[in-house]
Amino acid sequence: MRENKETLIQSAESVLYKTYNRFPVVFDHGQGVWLYDTDGAEYLDFGVGIAVAGLGYGDPQFTGALQEQASKLLHTSNLFYNAPAVRAGEKLLAASGMEKVFFTNSGTEAIEGALKIARRHAYNRDPGGEHTIIAMNGSFHGRSLGALSVTGNEHYRAPFAPLIPGVRFADFNDLDSVRRQLDSTTCAVILEPIQGEGGIYPAHPDFLSGVRQLCDEHGVLLIFDEIQCGMGRTGAMFAWQAYGVRPDVLTVAKALGNGVPIGAFLACGQAASAMVPGDHGSTYGGNPFAATAAETVLDIFRDRDIPAHAAKMGAYLGARLRELTEQFPCVAEQRGMGLMQGLQFNIPIAPIVRNALLEQNLILISAANNTIRFVPPLVIETQHIDEMISRLKKAISAVTGTLGGAPSPWNA
């Protein structure tokens, strides 16, 4: 028996803390690249819970592994070992090229751990010194106070000041800007290889290699936030591998659990031994259920070569999106890597996203600088991309009253 949508929405507005302006849709289940609401309507999902469901919905190998583990053991705490966490850790290290891993419950928590590694590593060398961090303007690293402190967007930061001190901001893709902020107090540089929330901006290869060189010259740790761009989304397992620039600390989450809350921070070199017992902890991090999700995702990514498929589909998606920049005057630019693409508009995008959802049954999400973000399941095929483009064209035309730049017959 289906639950009544309006009743559910009214109840949610009365009981849930109001920090989201939600769309009037209640999803009930999913299959493949499709979601279904409580009225039975079918939606093509190009947002997948903000880049989370990399395998889409209802993958039998994934759900089967979770069902089996749920019947055995969900949680024990990190006072003990558990086999799924060990296996997931081994496979994540093999896939990422790092040396040590700590499992968290979210991407934000992974950022907190990465920042603690940076400060602890600096403290080990200079216990009485000032230890500052360089972050990027336009970045987004999470909502906790530590993650907000390195998020380069005043809109997110201002209501919660004062934040953690000792953070300086440089301009993304501007090596001289980073160099100007760096001094003897700098202990780490943190950045996203592809800025996600900031508008889908890939790093220039020379910028990443230049930052790596600066960090090496000054004994500074380099932290890559791959919470959104990692796990195959760019066409490589991790974006750093496509660039050939390895960080000292790496954060992951989102697609790692395919919907089950799990994240991780990973480290190599001196950063891998910076913290000692008692420096960090997590009640739920790496519990057997969440670790089983990560282990199974990693197995599927390896066995089905999901990153290679994402690279192929990403090239096709990018080409189809570029067509829209030529067809619609309101579309300013396409940019991205793999299946992490952005389409920037010169008109407000909120009406387009809303029309796509409520009229075309197409799920899209936004990013900064008036950009629609495309982060579909990594298992999509060309027919899904073509269907998305068709529905998006209708949404753009319905909002602008044009069809490819000419007056639309719908509004004649």
What's the average model confidence in pLDDT over 227-238? 98
Residue 129 has pLDDT above 70, yes or no: yes
Find all residues with CB under 8 Å of 109, minimum gap 6, and list them. Answer: 144, 263, 282, 285
CA 187/CA 118 separation, integer angstroms: 6
Q: What average pLDDT score do residues 166-175 get?
A: 98
User: Has residue 356 been placed in a domain?
Assistant: no
**Whose CA is closest to 255, among 239, 276, 275?**
239
The reported pLDDT for the residue numbered 408 is 39
Residue 116 lies in a domain: yes
226: domain CATH number? 3.40.640.10
Sequence-distant (6+) residues with CB within 8 A of 135 are 141, 150, 151, 152, 167, 168, 169, 170, 189, 190, 191
pLDDT at 1: 58
Does residue 3 carry a pLDDT above 90?
A: no
Structure confidence at residue 4 (pLDDT): 85
In the chain, how many domains are there? 1
Residue 146 lies in a domain: yes
**Strand stretches in 50-206, DSSP E:** 100-104, 132-137, 167-171, 186-191, 194-195, 201-202
> What pTM was computed for the model?
0.95
- Confidence at residue 402, expressed as pLDDT on a 0 to 100 scale: 63
pLDDT surpasses 80 at 412: no
In a domain, 371, yes or no: no
pLDDT classification of 401: cutoffs 50, 70, 90: confident
| Burial degree of 299 (CB within 10 A; 0-12, 13-18, 19+) | middle
Distance CA 306, CA 298 (A): 10
CA contacts within 13 A on the Cβ side of 159 = 4
Task: For residue 145, tell me if it sits in a domain.
Answer: yes
Q: What is the mean pLDDT of residues 400-404?
A: 68
CB 113, CB 120: distance < 8 Å: no
> What tens digit of pLDDT does each residue of 28-84 get?
999 999 999 999 999 999 999 999 999 999 999 999 999 999 999 999 999 999 999
**Residue 410 scores a pLDDT above 60:** no
pLDDT of residue 255: 98
Kindly report whether the peptide bond that precedes residue 277 is cis, defined as omega within 30 degrees of 0: no
In a domain, 255, yes or no: yes
**Positive/negative CA dihedral, 233, 234, 235, 236:** negative
Query: Counting every residue, how long is the chain?
Result: 412
pLDDT in the model for residue 380: 98
80 in a domain, yes or no? yes
- What is the span of the domain harbouring residue 258? 61-304
In a domain, 214, yes or no: yes
Count of C-beta atoms within a 10 Å radius of residue 363: 22
pLDDT at 375 over 70: yes
Query: Which tokens in the block code for residue 216?
Result: 């090496």
CA atoms of 361 and 36, how far apart (whole Å): 10
pLDDT of residue 405: 46
Determine what percent of the chain is predicted with pLDDT higher than 70. 97
In this prediction, residues 240-249 reach a mean pLDDT of 98
pLDDT at 406 over 60: no
What mean pLDDT is reported for the chain?
A: 95
At 18, the pLDDT band (50, 70, 90 cuts) reads very high
334-352 pLDDT, tens digit each? 999 999 999 999 999 999 9
